[in-house]
Structure 1
Amino acid sequence: MVELRRSTRISSKKEPSVSESVESTNVKAKTESKVTKPSAKKEVNNETATAKLSELQVGDEIPDLTLLNQDDEPVSLKEVASKNKLVVFFAYPKASTPGCTRQACGFRDNYDDLKEHAAVFGLSADAPKSQKNFQTKQSLPYDLLSDPKREFIGALGAKKTAVSGVIRSHWIFKNGKLEIKRVQVSPETSVEEGKKEVLELAKSL
């Protein structure tokens, strides 16, 4: 009988040992563990609050909303109002445009007088990154709040249209309640009147 011979190529193949299989599995696991998932973009959810929110009138309390500032940090409006007897918010249509720059720089130039009595915040629908660029370029000493869905802007009555736009305005809250409401003002009027109103309100505290 002719004896069948195994192919040299086949017979030379070596089955992996148990230890080699385990080592291979461990290497694969270590490699997979190094793969990191992209970090989720920071977002704030104000749906519950905005569902019941209508336009604020003088005497109304500041809404329970949270917005991101230029550093992607959440800022609670209620918390801000609880820590400051006076809070000024000024809204501008778009960061780094001429009129908005005049308005923001006006509040910057008067900030030393304002900060003695009030917290100051810029506000627009711009993304935090745009706000950061604006703040850095103009050396703005206060936070700029990002309100892309125009939730707070809408509550303040400063939506330009139902779908887009922001009306240049400013507001002052005293002890957590809306005291001054100035919608549709020029950059210079916003700064001049805003400062004057803060100083007047400070006398009554």
Structure 2
Amino acid sequence: MSDRLSPGDTAPAFSLPDADGEQVSLADHLGKGRRTIVYFYPAALTPGCTKQACDFTDNLDVLAAAGYDVIGVSPDKPEKLARFREKENLRVTLVGDPEKKVLEAYGAFGEKTMYGKKVTGVIRSTVVVGEDGRVEHAWYNVRATGHVAKLLKDLAIPAS
């Protein structure tokens, strides 16, 4: 398990396939006067992850207006991400990390407690990367429900 990121750390670079198989890289979002919210979730098409992705989609315009791009990362393959996007009408960018290298680099994969048992898996996390490529905020073990509302509050972005 890798270390968690902290404010001031350099965000690990990545380039991963999106739901259409196109490469999305963090570098594409840097230096454009915008921040990037990178959120990590366990699996597409599951109840908690659906709730979280829908919450991000519902607030995408508010986040964009405040200068934030959003990228969701899971260990899913592009085909599953495409089904997820279509089924739930998602507008948020979803990328797949089946080898879990990016998840590990961000400290979003490792040991966690689920239903009272220790398991190894994706740790639901959110990292805000500034336009300079440095971590501004990092939250780990977040809840799927209510996380986007808390994020808006923590970032002082008025909800729509």
TM-score with structure 2 length normalisation? 0.83
CA change 1:193–1:68 in 2 (3 A) is same
Q: Give the secondary-structure state (helix, strand or coil) at the position aligned to 2:110.
A: coil
Number of aligned positions between the proteins:
148
CA change 1:84–1:98 in 2 (3 A) is farther
RMSD of aligned C-alpha atoms?
2.1
Identify the residue that residue 35 of structure 1 maps to in structure 2: none
CA change 1:102–1:91 in 2 (3 A) is same
Residue 112 (structure 1) aligned with residue 61 (structure 2): yes
What amino acid does structure 2 have at the position aligned with 1:135? R
Identify the residue that residue 185 of structure 1 maps to in structure 2: 142
What amino acid does structure 2 have at the position aligned with 1:144? L
1:55-74 superposed matches below 5 A: 55-74=4-23
Q: Which has the higher contact order (CA 8 A, sep 6+)?
A: 2
Q: 1:97 aligns with which of 46, 61, 73?
A: 46
CA change 1:95–1:142 in 2 (3 A) is same
In the TM superposition, what is the alpha-carbon distance from 1:152 to its structure 2 partner?
A: 1.6
Residue 172 (structure 1) aligned with residue 128 (structure 2): yes
What amino acid does structure 1 have at the position aligned with 2:53? A
1:131-142 superposed matches below 5 A: 131-142=81-92
Identify the residue that residue 157 of structure 1 maps to in structure 2: 107
What amino acid does structure 1 have at the position aligned with 2:127? W
How far, CA to CA, are the matches of 1:197 and 1:111 in structure 2?
16
In the TM superposition, what is the alpha-carbon distance from 1:84 to its structure 2 partner?
A: 4.9
How far, CA to CA, are the matches of 2:58 and 2:124 in structure 1?
18
Which of these two proteins has the greater Rg computed from alpha carbons? 1
In the TM superposition, what is the alpha-carbon distance from 1:82 to its structure 2 partner?
A: 2.8
More helix by share: 1
Kept after mapping to 1: 8 A contact 2:3/2:107: no
What amino acid does structure 2 have at the position aligned with 1:77? L
In the TM superposition, what is the alpha-carbon distance from 1:188 to its structure 2 partner?
A: 2.2
In the TM superposition, what is the alpha-carbon distance from 1:54 to its structure 2 partner?
A: 6.2
How far, CA to CA, are the matches of 2:86 and 2:155 in structure 1?
26
In the TM superposition, what is the alpha-carbon distance from 1:66 to its structure 2 partner?
A: 1.1
Q: Which runs of 5+ in 2 are unaligned?
A: 112-118
Identify the residue that residue 94 of structure 2 maps to in structure 1: 144
Q: Give the secondary-structure state (helix, strand or coil) at the position aligned to 2:122.
A: coil
